[in-house]
Structure 1
Amino acid sequence: MSDFFTLFLKQVQSPTLGFLIGGIIVAALGSQLKIPDSIYKFITFFLLLKVGLSGGIAIRKSNLSELLLPALAAVVLGILIVLIARFTLAKLSGIRFVDAVATGGLFGAVSGSTLAAVLPQLDSAGIEYEAWSAALYPFMDIPALVTAIVVASIYTGQQAGSSSDKVEIWTIIKESLQSSAVTALLLGVALGIATKPEPVYESFFNPLFRGFLSILMIIMGMEAAQRMNELRKVAQWFAIYGFFAPILHGFLAFGMGLVIHKITGFSIGGAVVLAVIAASSSDISGPPTLRAAIPSANPSSYIGSSTAIGTPVAIAVCIPLFIGIAQSMLGT
């Protein structure tokens, strides 16, 4: 618990949550600060293209034959995590459906910082893992976000029309894939695989990334402040979900990793990586994608539960938990 609260305080001071809170405070004080929508759209495109590029580069450098089954598991997990939120959190009293689905999308998507945290700890513990295991994250990240967008679109479409209206699911999936946010992600992945963008990636995208992310969080914080009344009555449910969901998702992923281990020889360390990325929640690709694609969802619900609660749980609880299980299985 001490580690958890220490990480919680660090998250409050991090650019992701700290600037979000700053935006909430500025808006709550009645400031007239406004950031043009064109700037927001450019920042969103930049961030998502950068995330896609990093995923594409990692995939290009991976062994694709060994990656196939773990990647399929990552896709299934990304979709499953959204559906878990849809059939649990969305059913609770007072929870808005779109808020629950957006929260599931953020928990299904992957945190790069959590992924970066587990790898050196596996090295320190002497647990071997595949060098390409970090490349699994886009296979979980993008399907989770697309699933959340599709599920939310189906729901809003049903609410807008009569109950007898037939919902064209393929049309919604096509529109989701063609949305600006998902297109930017997929374009980055394609360019990372098909080209060698490392020079421009290192000289342009990497240096500017954190700064643009901070500005985006201010924008989302200001928007969240305007909708804070929606969250007050149900905030406890999002906090509870934020604590327990990473652990549940991690165990589901670790179980899948062990099945793949039996079938293909996928390492126990690789199963830990899969578990940790499933336990993580996106602080980079998720917020701008969901804000653009599900504008009716309240950012204070899905970002607050994931970044303030979910990330500390993933790092302080899930990483040592699954490394400990792996050590007991390996007898180290």
Structure 2
Amino acid sequence: MDIIITIASTVLEQMQKPTLAFLIAGMMLAALGSKFEIPDPVYKFIVIVLLLKVGMGAGISIRQADLFSLVVPAIGAAVVGITIVLIGSRTLARLKGVSQVDGLATAGLFGAVSASTLAAGMAILDDEGIAYEGFIGALYPFMDIAALVTAIVLAKMATARKAAAGNTMADGTMTLGGSGKAPIAEAGLVRGILVETFRSPAISALIAGLALGVLAKPDSVFDSFYEPLFRGLLSILMLIMGMEAWARFAELRKVAHAYILYGITAPIIHGMLGFGVGVIAHELTGFSAGGIVLLSVMAASSSDISGPPTMRAALPEANSSAYVGTSTGLGTPIAILSIPLFIALAEIVVGT
């Protein structure tokens, strides 16, 4: 009974936080038939500012980190982010009634990282007196960008294949599959989608911010402009996404059980994957027990900052009520509740 009360209180607490609260407010506006709207140029400006800020913050963390100690856990974090999306592509995205693009967008957010959940993990470790590496925040972009790019590329490939299959049926020729030049066509498809993804406004802004943070010294403009605006602009974005989510809510109700199952089980499975990679890093480089716990927390978490605007910009056809609702409404509370589990496992496996 206590665990049910704890979960309920955690969910309620998450609903009161700006990310989910403004999403719900947007849904209420749409449900009441409000004519409230944000002009498209303003929306695009908000997304670019948000993603430049996220990228710069991550780049500054990397610049300030001990690069030698960072390499192994950073590679591990990227591998975890990609693997989580691949797992989602084989599970959620293949469930009956779930749109492949919606499933991949959801998996992308679960592969990316929640800054608030990571902060909660750090606070708990600080309270417990468990040490962790100072560069741990610099692992964020490796997992985050790897997961988001992988999800977007897979979703675009799925859409392109579906369109190609439709063309094949319509004119009697085969664009992909079969024999002959099909592998070349497939390779060209992947290459084109990769180029398109990295040139897209969302990923371009994220990577540009990352490069600026690593190679330049944008700290003053970051602190004076991007940081103060960030939360306010994010709240407006979530309001927009809430209105869009309500418009597409009917599509989600038919397969809500699939997202509920994924939202409850995925954080634990993903966290265990991060834990395993953390243990490997511990054996190779002496990565601390606290670092293992926080890598597990990052893997268990789902993005509430960089993910939604990236998906909204790169995959506008994806249902935001599916990926935001599942990640923030279910994934985040489960990830936070799982932190004591990862601490206990770290004590058993490597000691603290």
**Does the alignment reach a TM-score above 0.5?**
yes
41, 45, 61: which is aligned to 1:42? Answer: 45
Shift of 1:327: 2.8
Counterpart selection for 1:65 from 63, 68, 81? 68
Correspondent of 2:146 among 143, 151, 158: 143
The residue number in structure 1 matching 2:284 is 263
Is the 8 Å Cα contact of residues 45 and 181 (structure 1) preserved in structure 2? yes
| 8 Å Cα contact 1:85/1:100 also seen in 2 | yes
For structure 2, the 5+ residue unaligned runs are 169-173, 176-184
Quote the Cα distance in structure 2 between the aligned partners of 1:14 and 1:56: 26
In structure 1, list runs of 5 or more residues that go unmatched: none
2:292 equivalent to 1:292: no
Percent identity between matched residues is 56
Q: Which residue of 2 aligns with 1:311?
A: 332
Partner residue, 1:112: 115
CA RMSD of aligned residues (A): 1.2
Separation in structure 2 between the aligned mates of residue 330 and residue 139 of structure 1, nearest angstrom: 24
TM-score scaled by structure 1?
Answer: 0.97
2:233 partner amino acid = F
Q: Per-residue CA shift, 1:45-87, capped at 9, x if unaligned?
A: 0100000011000000001111111111111111111111100
SS of equivalent to 2:135: helix
Distance across 1 between alignment mates of 2:248 and 2:127: 44
Q: Distance in 1 between matches of 2:275 and 2:116?
A: 19
CA distances 1:101-120 after superposition (whole Å, capped 9, x unpaired): 00000001111111111112
Is this contact kept in 2: 1:48–1:185, CA < 8 A?
A: yes
Deviates more, 1:229-238 or 1:2-11: 2-11
Matched residue SS, 2:46: helix
Question: What letter matches 1:292 in structure 2?
Answer: A
Tell me, yes or no, if the aligned pair for 1:44 and 1:181 is still in contact at 8 Å: yes
Residue in 2 that maps onto 1:32: 35
Cα deviation, residue 330, structure 1: 5.2
Runs of 4+ in 1 over 6 A off after TM superposition: none
SS at structure 2 position matched to 1:131: coil
SS at match of 1:161: helix
1:134–1:273 contact (8 Å) kept in structure 2: no
| 2:185 matches 1:182 | no
**Counterparts of 1:54-203 in structure 2 under 5 Å?**
54-162=57-165, 164-165=174-175, 166-167=185-186, 168-203=189-224
Instruction: Kindly indicate whether residue 343 of structure 2 is the aligned counterpart of residue 323 of structure 1.
Output: yes
Query: Which of residues 291, 297, 306 is equivalent to 1:276?
Result: 297
| 1:260 to partner: Cα distance | 1.5
- For residues 240-280 of structure 1, the C-alpha deviation after alignment (integer angstroms, 9 at most, x for no partner) is 11111010000011011111211221112111111100111
State the one-letter code of the partner of 1:257: G
Following the alignment from structure 1 to structure 2, what is the Cα–Cα distance between the partners of residues 108 and 199? 31
CA distance in 1, matches of 2:204, 2:157: 20
How many residue pairs were aligned? 331
Structure whose CA Rg is larger: 2
CA contact (8 A) 2:275 2:293 kept: yes
1:214 aligns with 2:235: yes
Normalised by the size of structure 2, how large is the TM-score?
0.92
Amino acid at match of 1:291: R
Equivalent-residue separation in structure 1 for 2:74 and 2:6 (angstroms): 31
Displacement of 1:331 in angstroms is: 5.0
Alpha-carbon separation, structure 2, partners of 1:296 and 1:330:
45
Q: Report if aligned partners of 2:289, 2:351 keep a CA contact under 8 Å in 1.
A: no
Q: Distance in 2 between matches of 1:330 and 1:292?
A: 42
